[in-house]
Amino acid sequence: MDNGNGTAATCLRRPHVAMMPTPGIGHLMPLAELAKLLVDRYGFSITIITLAVSASKAQAALLSSLPPDIFSLALAPVPFHDLPPDAHIVTTMSIAIVRSLPDLRDALSRLRSSTNLVAFVTDLFGTDAFPVARELGVPPYIFFPSNLLTLSLFLHLPELDATATCEYRDLPVPLRLPGCVPIPGRDVLHPLQDRSNDAYRWTVHHGRRYREAEGILVNSFEAMEPEAAKILRQHEPGRPPVHLVAPLTQSGTAEADEGLECMRWLDQQPPGSVLFVSFGSRGTLSTAQMAELALGLELSGQRFLWVVRSPSDCGDSSEAYFTVQSKEDPFRFLPTGFVDRTREVGLLVPSWAPQVAVLNHAATGGFLSHCGWNSTLEGVQAGVAMVAWPLYAEQRQNAVLLADGARIALRLRAAEGGLVPREEVGRVVRELMEGDKGKVARRRVAELREAAARGLKEGGLAYKALDEVANKWKTTN
């Protein structure tokens, strides 16, 4: 293979890594950042292998923006006609991997013969590809795009499955994992909340296979979860070594030019005065909850920049990884008069904003977030304290970690029925931006920001953790 930067013989000698993210742009983004580091710092070349079900404009744009030594390869489509319409995303992703294995085997075989293929890396739901990699003599690794709390849960799932006698939401006491903040049962990972669902069985299945990996690279860092890091770094027979390589996030440099309206508006606001409100690329609220959020922001009296998306009960779904989002005008779902009443203190933008640039702007003083892990790390690197508003996946666990463990977020209390009322939104937003608890969260997130930056510098903990893995791969025959 000739990548344009040298002869084919040179390329054959360079260490090459195959990476396969499971569907979802949030899975691809941190893996792409890892790929860039391996290319820039260690001279690797990379092939990112994608599943047909994950194809999207966002994915295509991200892949096309990567350096020339990072290639991409799409596997052929597989059928899903036999899955029920309400199949959970974990089930769909897992079956997509299993049915793509013959095509993956062919792709890895070609890479094995045309490159110096030293490792195969997949993420949290890709473990059924391990036997294919091993069959071809390629050591398999996991890139875990979330935190140590969630990784610890995956590693303990087989024994939890064998010993639990009720649904997690019905646990009488919080779930306690070694070194981790206790998790109330209702906040445990969403796919585990119904033991009769295929998603539960698939998640336990993947947890069991984690121990077959040669190593696990985790997008978290020691200062965020010090006790869990201490435990998971220790050698445990039968468990792969754990390497904390975070934070791996996008720089956001290119995005800033596309969000000039946001940036110009922020330029006119006082330092630390704006609450950024965003629920990620897939997060949506119901129409009723969207109204309560809007009126709560108004009640708070704080400045805000809100990325408004059409509500979930107009066609969007918080877990619709594989569907096109609603084309409805999201502003029409806001309460009557809200836009005019808040015009002097708020900016509403439809569907998207340059998140990294917004978080790093001097005017931004808080982040109302769905607690997705990529967004969380971006907030930490910007030194912005948060209001935790989790929606799905592992986000409720993340909210517990951020509020009770890392102490960088404030949580909202939902009323009976699950709706967060406007009064609660107003109260917590004011507390974050003006209150004593907000001051504590800001002080703590500033400490984590510094720790994250130190870890990424040469000689830092994350830098050395990736060094260890890369050097091992370089010596792989």
Residue 67 sits at φ, ψ, to 5 deg, of -60, 160
414 and 420 Cβ atoms separated by less than 8 Å: yes
Choice among 69, 88, 103, 123 that is catalytic: 123
Catalytic residue list contains 123: yes
Q: Determine the Cα–Cα distance for residues 348 and 422; give it in Å rounded to an integer.
A: 18
Q: How many CA atoms lie within 13 A of 396 on its CB side?
A: 18
Catalytic residue list contains 103: no
Q: Determine the Cα–Cα distance for residues 389 and 276; give it in Å rounded to an integer.
A: 13
Q: Determine the Cα–Cα distance for residues 74 and 55; give it in Å rounded to an integer.
A: 9
| Overall residue count recorded for the chain in this entry | 477
Q: Determine the Cα–Cα distance for residues 365 and 380; give it in Å rounded to an integer.
A: 12
- Amino acid at residue number 331: F
Choice among 27, 88, 361, 370 that is catalytic: 27
Angle at which helix 57-64 crosses helix 25-42, to 10 degrees, equals 0
Catalytic (active-site) positions: 27, 123
